[in-house]
């Protein structure tokens, strides 16, 4: 049972030393009760109090790790219902399903394509996380052979799918020493599956037809010494899966209901239709899956899901940023034009891509606007004439360019007068508002 803020306060040193960053122990206790800080932020808690607070300090959604051949994926450890309340920490793993009734060459070709897939997005390389190998044959040797075929091509983490304990044992034998997800344990096989999970120190997916049944099963399995579990509440359509996932997250976060305090696995691959599968996968990423299993791989299906995942799992208080500095595009010369923008990644890449496409050698100065876009940064006082002028000096722009002319984004045309005062001897030009209009502007005006 979760402790209240007052109960936690009674276990703290009550010295109000402020070392945790809060003015009082009570303020810290309230934040701890709300799962908004870690107990480790207070360096003065006694070992005895730590033991008593462990339950309260533990994240309401257990952290689950899959490991294989130097790869690792962590899911869970979430503490809020909504991203804007704090942040989401561990991105859901995106897995591609392969079946053991496929010919080995087909398995290898499919796995190789996924393994090689990487796509750039605002300076990051995005890719998929692993494979869910399903026993369709029901034969232990065939299952192990399919896993072996995957392993000849990729070392990424695995979800092993079979409800037959003997088949699962053969599959686990094929990846001995790894930590795959075992899927799964239901009301009939849970004891045998729990034994396998214990023997291989692997997390176990628990399958229930209702939340009540799931909670009952996780408690029984926990009683056998298994702590690392993943939940499959059974819903496969949009409505049922959304309701179940939301109820599980609410119960674990708001009520600290430990029997359902585990990540969820979702199977959009069962949708039976590619469009429906994409929508189900997008919903699962947003609400609240830890593992998402897709039926097959195609770049057009996967890319939007990777981008969605990246955006949802970016800390809203720390926008994706690029390093401030003076960037060279198309091998600029001293006489090349100089543009300025902010260090919000999407802004930077929008501008840089448009400029690069023109083929015009250009200097692009990226000012430190704390990762905000042009208008937001200007409204927040993070992108003003003073900062731009300071960037010109910090990045030694005058040593690189021969024309003292700088192009401001059109959205901050209002800064041009002030910037001329901050940069005496410079000509300030106002560029277009949108990056897409830069090529025409550069060709006609610069």
List of residues contacting ligand SF4 (CB under 6 A): 12-13, 15-20, 22, 25, 28, 42, 44
Closest approach of Cβ 437 to ligand SF4, in Å? 53
CB of 89 to ligand SF4, least distance (A): 23
- Are residues 438 and 431 in contact, defined by beta-carbon separation less than 8 angstroms? yes
As given in the structure block, the two tokens for residue 138 are: 């029901």
Q: Report which DSSP code applies to 91.
A: P
Paired tokens of 54: 């462990």
Look up residue 402 and give its two tokens: 């021969």
Pick between residue 26 and residue 312 the one whose CB is nearest to ligand SF4.
26
Tokens of 337: 């034009």
User: Please, which residue, 19 or 212, has the CB nearer to ligand SF4?
Assistant: 19
Residue 254: CB minimum distance to ligand SF4, A:
24
Residue closer to ligand SF4 by CB (options 18, 405) is 18
Question: What's the min distance (Å) between Cβ of 7 and ligand SF4?
Answer: 14
- Give me the numbers of helices (H) and strands (E) for the chain, helices first please: 17, 17
Which of 242, 262, 239, 241 lies closest to 251, judged by CA?
262
Closest approach, Cβ 23 to ligand SF4, in A, equals 8
Residue carrying the six token digits 């997008």: 282
> Taking the complex as a whole, how short is the minimal distance between the CB of residue 77 and ligand SF4, in angstroms?
22
Report the nearest approach of ligand SF4 to the CB of residue 50 (Å): 12
We find the least distance from the C-beta atom of residue 25 to ligand SF4, in angstroms, to be 3
Q: Judged by CB, which is closer to ligand SF4: 50, or 236?
A: 50
12-19 long-range contacts, CB within 8 A, separation 24+: 12/42, 12/45, 12/49, 13/42, 13/44, 13/45, 13/46, 15/44, 17/44, 19/43, 19/44
**Nearer to ligand SF4 by C-beta: 54 or 436?**
54
For 68-80, b where at least 16 C-beta lie within 10 A, e where not — what string?
beeeebbbbbbbb
- CA torsion sign for 301, 307, 310, 314 is negative
Three-class SS state of 302 = helix
In 10 A of CB 355, how many CB atoms? 24
Among residues 5 and 59, whose Cβ is nearest to ligand SF4?
5
Q: Which is nearer to ligand SF4, 53 or 305 (CB)?
A: 53
**For residues 15 and 69, which CB has a smaller minimum distance to ligand SF4 in the complex?**
15
């Amino acid at each position: 049972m979760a402790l209240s803020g007052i109960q936690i306060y009674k276990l703290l040193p009550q010295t109000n030393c402020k070392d945790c960053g809060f003015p009082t122990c009570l303020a810290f206790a309230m934040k701890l009760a709300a799962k908004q800080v870690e107990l480790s932020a207070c360096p003065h808690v006694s070992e005895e109090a730590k033991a008593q607070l462990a339950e309260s300090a533990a994240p309401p959604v257990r952290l689950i790790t899959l490991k294989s051949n130097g790869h690792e994926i962590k899911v869970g450890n979430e503490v809020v219902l909504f991203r804007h309340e704090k942040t989401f920490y561990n991105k859901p793993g995106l897995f591609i399903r392969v079946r053991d009734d496929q010919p080995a060459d087909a398995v290898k070709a499919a796995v190789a394509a996924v393994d090689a897939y990487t796509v750039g997005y605002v300076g990051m390389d995005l890719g998929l996380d692993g494979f869910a190998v399903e026993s369709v044959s029901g034969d232990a040797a065939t299952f192990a052979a399919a896993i072996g075929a995957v392993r000849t091509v990729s070392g990424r983490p695995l979800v092993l799918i079979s409800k037959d304990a003997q088949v699962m044992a053969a599959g686990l034998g094929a990846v001995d020493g790894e930590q795959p997800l075992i899927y799964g344990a239901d009301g009939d096989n849970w004891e045998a599956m729990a034994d396998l999970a214990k023997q291989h120190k692997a997390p176990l997916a628990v399958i229930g037809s209702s939340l009540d049944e799931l909670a009952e099963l996780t408690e029984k399995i926990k009683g056998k010494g298994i702590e690392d579990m993943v939940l499959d509440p059974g819903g496969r359509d949009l409505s049922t899966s959304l309701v179940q996932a939301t109820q599980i997250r609410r119960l674990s976060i708001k009520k600290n209901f430990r029997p359902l305090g585990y990540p969820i696995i979702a199977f959009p691959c069962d949708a039976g239709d590619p469009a429906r599968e994409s929508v189900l996968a997008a919903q699962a990423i947003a609400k609240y899956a830890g593992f998402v299993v897709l039926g097959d791989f195609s770049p057009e299906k996967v890319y939007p899901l990777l981008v969605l995942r990246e955006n949802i799992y970016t800390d809203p208080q720390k926008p994706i940023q690029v390093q401030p500095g003076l960037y060279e595009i198309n091998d600029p010369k001293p006489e090349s034009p100089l543009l300025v923008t902010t260090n919000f990644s999407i802004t930077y890449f929008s501008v840089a891509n448009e400029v690069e496409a023109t083929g015009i050698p250009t200097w692009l100065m990226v000012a430190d606007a704390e990762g905000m876009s042009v208008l937001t940064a200007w409204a927040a006082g993070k992108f003003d004439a003073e900062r731009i002028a300071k960037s010109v000096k910090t990045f030694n722009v005058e040593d690189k360019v021969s024309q003292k002319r700088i192009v401001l984004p059109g959205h901050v045309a209002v800064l041009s007068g002030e910037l001329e005062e901050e940069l005496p001897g410079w000509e300030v030009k106002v560029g277009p508002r949108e990056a897409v209009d830069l090529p025409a502007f550069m060709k006609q005006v610069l």
